[in-house]
Amino acid sequence: MDLNTNIDKPMQSEYPDWAQKYIDQLPNDGLILQHMRDSYSELKELIVDLPEEKLLYRYEEGKWTIKEILQHIIDGERVFQYRSLAIARDPNVQLAEFDQDVYASAVKPNEREFKKLLKEFKHVRKSSLSLYKSMNSDDFLKSVQVGNSNVSVRSYAYMIVGHTKHHLEIIRKYYI
């Protein structure tokens, strides 16, 4: 499978309601792997040259810094990767929901060197692309119940990209 492979946008029955805002971020062109590659580059270009004070800025009390947003994107992508792999390999897998706030409170990205955080994101994204490129078209249609929702492999691929795009817009609107 290559970046031009058509992977149709998932139907609403293939993901939880909360994921709608992420799925809606993407066109219905089936080129999710290209969008996955491009959204990495778009985010990197937007934040790579920001000064440290911008990376640690909070536009409101309780909101995340850009470093925390980047760590959150990385964590979410890793979870969605694992779920995609598990569903593709084991139709009987049982997956628990995950709480982004628990994950976020367990790390301290503001204390990390930004270049290392950005490099980690690069590796995670390359890993996502590698995983999805290794799958066949039937794998993308496989799904399991997660919490109260049926979730497909292809919906996780779309969530990864839509989630990144969602946070790109937040960074543009509130941080830059």
Which pLDDT tens digit goes with each residue over 116-163? 999 999 999 999 999 999 999 999 999 999 999 999 999 999 999 999
- Report d(CA 82, CA 77) in Å as an integer: 9
State whether residue 41 is helix, strand or coil: helix
State whether residue 146 is helix, strand or coil: strand
**Domain ranges within the chain, ordered by starting residue:** 14-174
- Report d(CA 159, CA 25) in Å as an integer: 9
For 41-95, write each residue's pLDDT tens digit. Answer: 999 999 999 999 999 999 999 999 999 999 999 999 999 999 999 999 998 999 9
Write the CATH number of the domain with boundaries 14-174.
1.20.120.450
